[in-house]
Amino acid sequence: MYKKTFNTTVPDRNNKAKSNIANGFNKFDFSSAILTAITEAGYEKPTEIQATTIPKIQAGRDVLAGAETGSGKTAAFVLPVLNTLTKTAYGRATDALRPHQVRVLILVPTRELAIQIGQEIRKFSAHIDPYVRCLSVYGGVKIEQPAKALRNGVDFVVATPGRFLDLINAKVVKFNQLQVLILDEVDRLVARGFKEEVDQILKFLPNKRQNLFFTATFPDEIRPLVRKVLDNPEIIKIDPKGTSLIDERVITVNFDRKTALLADLLKNNDWSQVLIFCSAKRTCDNLVSKLFAEDIRAFALHGNKKQHERRDILKQFKEGNIRVLIATDIAARGLDIAQLPCVINYELPRSPNDYTHRIGRTGRAGKEGMAISLISHHEYQHFTVIEKRNGFRLPWETIPGFEADEIAPPPPTRSKPKKKAKKKLSKKQIKRKKGMRTTAKLASNKSLGTIAEKKPEPVKSPYKSLDKKQSIKKSPYKKADKLSDDAIKIPTANPIRKKETKKKPRVNESIWGKK
């Protein structure tokens, strides 16, 4: 008898023919949809951090990984997590994404990094069916927009801590289906300002989850957070190669000649694009105007810019339409430009760790780059601290025509603005001013008088001023001649007396006398 058989295995709709995709990522057992996206992105073989980290993440281990900037850390955690979700979450109907739920949470320190990681996730998940929902959450955008996107649930949320904490307080996000927590740039997230927000977010997350930490440096400040969050982690540290692709130069110059030296470097070198770092927002704006006076067009990027302005400036810079970009440290993390030839430190970073992130914007994807630091006398000691913390020693050089003095020149002083000379008033204007003053005085006196009238002083009773020997029962008015004038103080107003009541006549007496 014929028996009908059924195939009980769930087909992998993301698995297509893998034979036509030839690259070094086949050994990780990625789905064909992800391999196709990797090939379209131009990745031929995994980097050292990717080859070491991906197998540990696929095994479900907690990971603390560190590597230099530009080594492919973003793809090292996006690819394995994305592949795990496609095999588990989409293959079973019971794991359907519920409203307001999140599967993967990625915390980053800056908006630019949140936008970049969101773009990487969408790029690697372009061929996955059903599509992967990714949401970037950061400040400068109304909270209603991400709250609306979370109604149907989201697979990936890439957020800055402050804005994501606002969503938690608004009760529009839930963590019942959270599987993975990723902290990118951990060395910055443990800094002052982010640490408290990260600690508050961790209180809302479930205990059962996979934790992944990625960083470019390993400062001592990250140890408490690692011990608190990671469970028996796999620590991976990729040391930089002996031959660096970044040519680092240190140029000494007087403070008052630093802008002129910067303009000379920009004019005499054929760099296609230059990223200049400053430590203050005001310095960025001032430097833009000074370079404009030297016929050099530049744009500023800092936190005071509106979100759409920052987005447009970054887009134009990545497309090559802007040659000179002056930015604060918000561009030191999350700005990925494959062929940025030069980075200039117009001012040194406050933290020695930020120096590594700044120069890491150049020399990426196997391309050579140059990092120049312009230092003045007041920055000599701080740069030696940066060298000591990062474990290197660079030669200091000078440019002819811009040599620094042996003795530090006096710091520039800001000239106080001159007071405007007072105009001489005419006789009519003087009379008007005097009249205004007198009317103002009269008005103030009048207001004070009305207040005094409203609250008069209470009238003192004359009985309280009598001596104790005198009897209070006797009225002072009947025998005033026997008392001294000092004993009696006549009140300003008549005291209130009780109404005299007439005595009712007796029954046997009339009003005119006895009968």
Are residue 105 and residue 178 in the same domain, yes or no?
A: yes
- Segments forming the whole domain that contains residue 123: 26-237
Kindly state whether residues 250 and 232 are assigned to the same domain: no
Q: Which among 367, 397, 427 is the end of a domain?
A: 397
Question: Is residue 500's pLDDT more than 90?
Answer: no
Nearest one of 112, 215, 206, 202 to 161, comparing CA atoms = 202
**How many other C-beta atoms can be found within 10 angstroms of the C-beta atom of residue 179?**
21
Q: Contact at 8 Å (CB) between 117 and 106?
A: yes
Q: Where a domain ends, among 348, 381, 397?
A: 397
Helix, strand or coil, per DSSP, at residue 139 = coil
Residues 83 and 232 in one domain: yes
**Nearest 5°: CA angle at 324, between 323 and 327?**
140
221 with 112, same domain: the answer is yes
Has residue 20 been placed in a domain?
A: no
Task: Flag whether pLDDT at 370 surpasses 70.
Answer: yes
Residue 277's CATH number:
3.40.50.300
Same domain, 334 and 371: yes
At residue 213, the pLDDT reads 94
> Is the confidence at residue 364, as pLDDT, over 80?
no
Average per-residue pLDDT for the chain: 79
In a domain, 84, yes or no: yes
Please list, in sequence order, all residues whose beta carbon lies within 8 angstroms of the beta carbon of residue 139, skipping any fewer than 6 positions away. 111, 160, 162, 163, 307
Q: In this predicted model, what pLDDT tens digit does every residue of 181-200 receive, in sequence order?
A: 999 988 888 876 788 899 99
Domain boundary among 352, 377, 397: 397
- Whole-number Å distance between alpha carbons of 69 and 462: 93
**10 Å Cβ neighbour count for 271?**
15
Is 357 found in the same domain as 293?
Answer: yes
Q: pLDDT digit string (tens) for 117-153?
A: 999 999 999 988 888 899 999 887 888 989 999 998 9
Same-domain status, 55 and 184: yes
CA angle 103, 104, 109 (to 5 degrees): 145
What is the C-alpha to C-alpha distance for residues 84 and 87, in angstroms, rounded to an integer? 5
Cβ contacts of 411-414, under 8 Å, gap ≥ 24: 411/255, 411/378, 412/255, 412/256
Which whole number is the average pLDDT over 436-455? 59
Residue 138: burial class (beta carbons within 10 Å; 0-12, 13-18, 19+): buried
Amino acid identity at 133: R
Read off the pLDDT of residues 261-316 as tens digits, 9 standing for 90 and up.
999 999 999 899 999 999 888 999 999 999 999 999 999 998 888 888 888 888 88
Is residue 293 a contact partner of residue 259, using CB atoms and an 8 Å limit?
A: no
229/266 same-domain check: no
Q: Is the pLDDT of residue 48 over 50?
A: yes
Is 290 in the same domain as 378?
yes
In a domain, 40, yes or no: yes
Considering the domain architecture, whether residues 192 and 298 belong to the same structural domain is answered as: no
Number of structural domains the chain divides into: 2
Instruction: Give percent of the chain with pLDDT exceeding 90.
Output: 37
